Amino acid sequence: MRKRKNNYTRWNVMVSTSPDKPMKRFSLSKSVYISSLSVLLLLPITIITLTVIIDILNGHQSKLNALLLEKELVIEEQYAEINKLQNDYLVLENETKSVQQTIKEFKAFEARLSEMELDMPGELETVSFDGSGGAVIPESTVTEESRSMSNNLVDMKEELPALLDSFEELLQRFEEYEEELRTIPTYVPAEGRISSQFGNRRDPFTRWTRFHSGIDIAAPLNTPIYAAADGKVTMAGWNGGYGNTVMVEHDTTYETLYAHLNKIDVKVGDSVKKGDIIGRMGTTGRSTGVHLHYEIKRNGEHVDPYMYMSFHKRDN
């Protein structure tokens, strides 16, 4: 029989560690040699590729950190704006109460004087040669208290026109401020407890961290849902994962969204007033239970609804 030719080439590697020691020989097959050489060639390429990927990921992380910082600055500005609105509102409210109290005190003072039947002092010209006379009355009969009250009444009567003008101006400013607040979503959209806050949270379905663009308010089925401000309904119907949804545009600055509703009581194009019922709470769409998902957009950007919901918190 013919001997089959051996097609497997082997490589002999001779290694000597010292002239006094015998040489060691290693026998490698051609396939093992080529595989080893391929690994050595691919290793630098792999390292370079991983380095590039890491640099790209670091760049993305830097961009995300910058975006997060920008969002935090925007939120801080929004908190500052809300605080300023609250402070302005309080100042106007206190000024109005102060003027009302002053007028109330004036009326009470005037009524007290009327009961005492005091004559108002008039402006008389003193002429030395005019006649005068009358019965002799002791000086102590006209008390200092009566004289002081009459003088105070005269002073208050002189100050009253300016005081009334100031009150009317303040009242006008207060009405303008109230009118401006009509289109700012400060009305709490539903009674209940806040079950999920605005911002990053663990998704109730996937358990992954995701951004929550609004606030969830939990309450019994069919709890009334209120319009947070005056505006016009721009959407009323099914909206994917949001389920039954109502969207309201308030002037040109704000837009609110009310999701997972069980019932919708408005239609597109309807004008709503602050506090009007627009629907009923439900669990439609991507929902784990009965609640309202409530969002506010300011100039197209999501903002924390709680800042606006807590605007009138002091009144509670």
Residue 252 placed within a domain: yes
Which span out of 18-27, 51-60, 67-76, 287-296 was modeled with the highest average pLDDT? 287-296
Q: Smallest Cα–Cα separation from 184: which of 100, 98, 274? A: 274
208 lies in some domain: yes
Q: What is the pLDDT of residue 7?
A: 52
The CATH number of whichever domain residue 261 belongs to comes to: 2.70.70.10
- Which among 277, 303, 247 is positioned nearest to 311, based on CA atoms? 303
Whether 257 is in a domain gets the answer yes
Tokens of residue 97, six digits:
């109460």
Q: How many domains does the chain have?
A: 1
Is residue 42, in this structure, part of any structural domain at all?
Answer: no
**Of 233, 201, 232, 231, nearest in space to 214 by CA:** 201
What is the share, in percent, of the chain residues with pLDDT greater than 90? Answer: 34
Domain contains 240: yes
Question: What whole-number distance in Å separates Cα of residue 19 and Cα of residue 164?
Answer: 117
The mean per-residue pLDDT over the stretch 117-122 comes to: 44
Query: Is 219 part of any domain?
Result: yes
Above 80 in pLDDT, residue 276? yes
More confident residue, 199 or 265: 265
Q: Residue 233 to residues 5, 108, 266, 298, 312: CA-CA distances in angstroms? A: 88, 50, 8, 16, 24
How many residues are there in the chain? 316
> What's the mean pLDDT in 83-96?
73
Q: What residue numbers bound the domain in which 267 lies?
A: 193-315
| Distance set, CA 214 to CA 200, 270, 272, 288, 290 (Å) | 10, 24, 21, 16, 16
Q: What is the predicted pLDDT for the residue at 111?
A: 59
Q: Is residue 148 part of a domain?
A: no
The whole-model pTM stands at 0.55
Of residues 59 and 297, more confidence is placed in 297
Taking 70 as the threshold, does the pLDDT of residue 140 lie above it? no
pLDDT tens column, 150-178: 555 556 666 666 666 666 776 677 777 77
Q: Which among 2-16, 108-122, 221-235 has the top mean pLDDT?
A: 221-235
Quick check: 19 pLDDT over 60?
Answer: yes
d(CA 244, CA 257): 11
SS (H, E, C) 143-192: CHHHHHHHHHHHHHHHHHHHHHHHHHHHHHHHHHHHHHHCCCCCCCCCCC
> What was the pLDDT predicted at 219?
96
Output the six-digit token pair for 150.
């009459």
Lowest-pLDDT range of 43-52, 119-128, 219-228: 119-128
pLDDT band at 314 (very low <50, low <70, confident <90, very high): very low
Burial annotation 98-128 (CB, 10 A radius, 16+ → b, else e): ebeebeeebeeeeeebeeeeeeeeeeeeeee
Q: How confident is the model over 56-69, as pLDDT tens digits?
A: 888 888 888 888 78
Q: What is the mean pLDDT of the chain?
A: 77
Q: Check residue 293 and give its pLDDT.
A: 96
Residues 182-226 pLDDT 10s: 999 999 999 999 999 998 888 888 888 888 999 999 999 999 999
**What confidence score (pLDDT) does residue 83 get?**
77
Instruction: Say yes or no to pLDDT of 234 above 80.
Output: yes
**Position with higher pLDDT, 301 vs 26:** 301
In a domain, 57, yes or no: no
Q: What was the pLDDT predicted at 282?
A: 97
